[in-house]
Structure 1
Amino acid sequence: MPSAVPLPPRDDGLIAAGGLLGGLVLWYFEIYTTVPRSADLGTLPLAPLAVMCVAVLLRRIGQPWALLIGVGALVADQVIGSLLATVLMFTDVVYASVLYGRPGMARHVLSLSTVATVGVTVWALAAHPEPESLLVGVVCALVTIAPAWSGLTIREHREAAREERLRAEQTALLSEMDRREAVAAERGRMARELHDLVANHLSAIAIHSTAALSLGDQKAAQEALRVIRENSVQGLAEMRGLIGLLRAGEGEAGEADLLAAPRLDSLDALLDQTRANGAGSGLEFVLEDTRTPGLRLPAPVEMAAYRIVQESLTNTLKHASPGTVTVRLAHEDGGPLTVEVRSPCETGGRPRAPGAGAGLVGMEERVALLGGAFQAGPVTGPAGRGPRTGPVPARAQTWQVRAELPADVKGPS
């Protein structure tokens, strides 16, 4: 289906109508800007006027044809007998050709206007070598160069404004993307902290509450209730600390976060708590720390290592079979901090407490944020393959969590 022919804008119609009315008044009173060659021109001067009105109607929708029509009408107007209205409308056509025409047309119109002005000035001086002939060049410049230069200036300003708007929109879009990424990162960080702070205590509560309900021994039930109470109190205290951190101001939050970040020096206390929570499960916990005594690593690295050990120990309480759980820490000068947790495991057993797998995801995210390497999986199996991620093979006996953390990281964990 052919597209409809665009109609001239309303303003262009008003300009053409005003120019036609002004030209009719000048023609009626025989007011010409050049001396007519004949005393009785009749309606002949109205022909260039009408053609120039058509060019004005096409000034926005018909470039470069509007300019070509305007040039022809101006030449005819100068030959027959010039009306000022026709000349003024031509200046508007030149202005519109630069402003609304194609990008290359703007430069060409200004160049051709300059050439035409110089040519007309030379011709006038050659025909009448008098100073007054220079006025012809001045008039020609006002009719051609001035409107072309004005149109080019406005066009450049419009293009600059358009580029600034696009740049502002891009900046706003990038800012929104950064904001969303920051919100997502903060939500992920909060999810990891909530999981690591609460999951350990809730797992112990679930395990010992099950034992308290299933055991008939009153002493064992009381011991289980004691562990449940301790974990409830500790979990509530840590939750209150996290809520206070979230409610603190920007400066207070950074200070509180630094104070609340756990250090590897607290691993002994963590293992003691895990031993108490895992009493009666047949698990023994051993810490092998070969780091240089007194060595302090950046807070984000120590916090990530602590949380990895904490979550690994929580998983052992849920899934590990009776045996020895070994926590190893190793670090050499210039090398990464290596965290390794090994626990006995067997297939077919039911977990002591339910889990959703969020702990492994959180550990992997922590390591990835620091640019380290993370592995979790069985270390022995039918084919004797090394650590991998996936279901435990039928003959697997040891589950290993291993993380290598760069020791020179300064960013948040």
Structure 2
Amino acid sequence: MLTHLPRPHRHDVLLAVVSVFLGIGLWAVGASSSPSRDLLPDWAVLVPLVVLGAMELLRRSAPRVTLAVGTIGVVADQFTVGSIATVLIFTDLMYAAVVYGKPATARRLPVTTGLITVAVTIATLVWLRTPQALLVGVLTGLVSFAPALTGATLRNHREAAEAARLRAEQTALLAEMDRTQAVTAERARMARELHDMVANHLSVIAIHSTAALSIDSPATSRDALGVIRENSVQGLAEMRRLIGLLRDAGAEREPGAVPTLDGLEALLKQARTNGAASGLDFVLRDERPPGPPPPAPVELAAYRIVQESLTNALKHAAPGTVTVRVRGSDDLIGVEVGSPYGERSGPRAPGSGAGLIGMRERAELLGGEFTAGRDGPLWRVRASLPAREKAVEA
């Protein structure tokens, strides 16, 4: 089985060699712990010394085995003239058993050696009945309890340091996850904002440019080019504003104007101009009661949902009237856009579906509800947003 053990650590090899040579040197000069003992020849003291010295090579890889052999060796040493080097090696084996042994062993050894120390002290006091008997208990504690307690203290410090390191790594990992989620959420917000601000203008440009190319009429082409120019200028202004906000995000600057529901009339006025060629009309029904406006994020989300719904109507709605209804209460802000559903003649702009996804995300991020789908002859978009901005976790 020993062939499967790892190679001894170089410090353990050095410790074993130094300990054995120290013990041999002490024996050579006649220095022993109990010279009066003559049960065995003097050279017998070298046997437990060498055995315990060899155990030093296994103090990390097999601490329980080394402690068991060391205990037998230190007991055998008491039947010889004795070597202080053997006792010192045993204390190191006791220390290593606690530091490198299993957690259960590390917990039990300090308690066990403490009880043994107390028991030996009481037994020697009862037997010898002299104060010097306390020295036996002190020596027993120094040989067994003290190294076990030292090893337990060191092991606890190491485990506490390892736990602190793991907590620091977990904290760093959580911080990185939070940063990644924040970046992802910010990118999604920027994507929604960019889509809502620019898609309307680009859709109108696509529709009117197609009309100008397909209808051979100077008047139609002139009107289409006018609408294209107006939407190009507005789209470029929106892009510049967004780029400016992104570029100067870390600098102190006046915040840009945030669209509100009070600006819906101007939004529908522009939609009427853009949709006139497609036979579309736009009507606003503002049924909000008088009172303070909702929080800015809620009002911005409602405005963008209406804006994107109008963009989709310009791209896909059949000729007819597009109705925008806004309702409000102390708890909810509701917006509803109904546009004619059916086949449409003339130029159309392609859609990607990102608009519906963006509207749904805006509503859900604020804890609201969003639905979109066919409702009889209409395509209806509904959104209910909390008037008190109870945003959900992103």
TM-score (norm 2): 0.94
Q: Is the 8 A contact 2:42 2:81 kept in 1?
A: no
Q: For 1:315, which of 301, 308, 312 is the aligned residue?
A: 312
| Aligned residue among 359, 362, 372 for 2:358 | 362
Structure 2 CA distance for aligned equivalents of residues 200 and 288 of structure 1:
21
Find the residue that maps to 1:30 and give its secondary structure. coil
The question of 1:221 aligning with 2:221 is answered: yes
Q: Distance in 1 between matches of 2:369 and 2:388?
A: 15
Asked if 2 retains the 8 angstrom alpha-carbon contact of 1:64 and 1:101, the reply is: yes
Which whole-Å CA distance do the structure 2 matches of 1:40 and 1:154 have between them?
39
User: Take 1:407 and 1:379, find their aligned partners in 2: how far apart are those partners?
Assistant: 26
| Letter matched to residue 366 of structure 2 | L
Check conservation: 1:300, 1:411, Cα contact below 8 A.
Answer: no
Q: 2:388 corresponds to which letter in structure 1? A: D
Which residues of 2 match residues 27-42 of structure 1 at below 5 A? 27-38=27-38, 41-42=41-42
Residue pair 1:320, 1:343 contacting (<8 A) in 2 also: yes
Q: 1:305 aligns with which of 282, 292, 302?
A: 302
Equivalent position of 1:390 in the other structure: none
Q: Which residue of 2 aligns with 1:162?
A: 162
Quote the residue 2:107 is aligned against. Answer: 107
- Quote the offset at 1:141 in angstroms: 1.5
Show CA shifts across 1:33-91 (max 9, x none): 11342187242111111221233222111132211111110011012121011010011
Contact 2:40–2:80 (Cα < 8 Å) also in 1: no
Matched, 1:399 2:379: yes
Equivalent pair of 1:319/1:350 in contact (CA under 8 Å)? no
Residue 14 and residue 345 in structure 1: after superposition, are their counterparts in 2 closer, same or farther (change >3 A)? same
Paired residue secondary structure (2:348): coil
* Secondary structure class of the residue paired with 1:273: helix
SS at 1:287 equivalent: strand
The SS at the match of 2:307 is helix
CA, structure 1 residues 351+58, in 2 after alignment: closer, same or farther (shift >3 Å)? farther
Q: Distance in 1 between matches of 2:104 and 2:77?
A: 28
Contact 2:317 2:344 in 1 (8 A): no
Give 4+ residue runs of structure 1 displaced > 6 Å after superposition: 348-351
The aligned amino acid for 2:321 is T
More deviation, 224-233/105-114? 105-114
Which residues in structure 2 correspond to 1:75-86 (within 5 Å)?
A: 75-86=75-86
Distance 1:410 1:250, change over 3 A: farther
Q: What is the count of residue pairs matched by the alignment?
A: 392
Q: 2:322 aligns with which of 299, 322, 325?
A: 325
Is 1:342 the counterpart of 2:326? The answer is: no
Query: 3-state DSSP class of the match of 1:79?
Result: coil
Q: Is the 8 A contact 2:318 2:344 kept in 1?
A: no
Q: Is the 8 A contact 2:8 2:57 kept in 1?
A: yes
Any residues of structure 2 matched to 1:5-404 within 5 Å, and which?
Answer: 5-38=5-38, 41-250=41-250, 252=252, 256=255, 259-293=256-290, 295-334=292-331, 336-347=332-343, 352-380=348-376, 397-404=377-384
The aligned amino acid for 1:302 is E
Structure 1 residue runs of 5 or longer lacking an equivalent are 381-396
Deviation at 1:251, TM superposition (A): 6.7
- How much is the aligned-residue C-alpha RMSD, in angstroms? 2.1
Deviation at 1:348, TM superposition (A): 8.0
Q: How many Å apart are 1:295 and its aligned residue?
A: 4.0
* Cα distance in 2 for residues equivalent to 1:285 and 1:347: 19
Q: Please report how far the alpha carbon of residue 216 of structure 1 lies from its aligned counterpart in structure 2 after TM superposition.
A: 2.4
When the two structures are superposed, what TM-score results if normalisation uses the length of structure 1?
0.90
1:17 deviates by 1.2
Q: Between the two proteins, what is the percent identity of the paired residues?
A: 55
Shift of residue 127 of structure 1? 4.2
Name whichever of 130-139 and 13-22 sits farther off: 130-139
Q: Which one is further off, 197-206 or 120-129?
A: 120-129
Does structure 2 conserve the Cα–Cα contact (< 8 Å) formed by 1:22 and 1:85? yes
1:36/1:80 contact within 8 Å kept: no
Are residues 1:408 and 2:388 paired? Answer: yes
Q: Can you list the C-alpha shifts for 1:92-116, whole angstroms capped at 9, x where unaligned?
A: 0010111111112123211221122
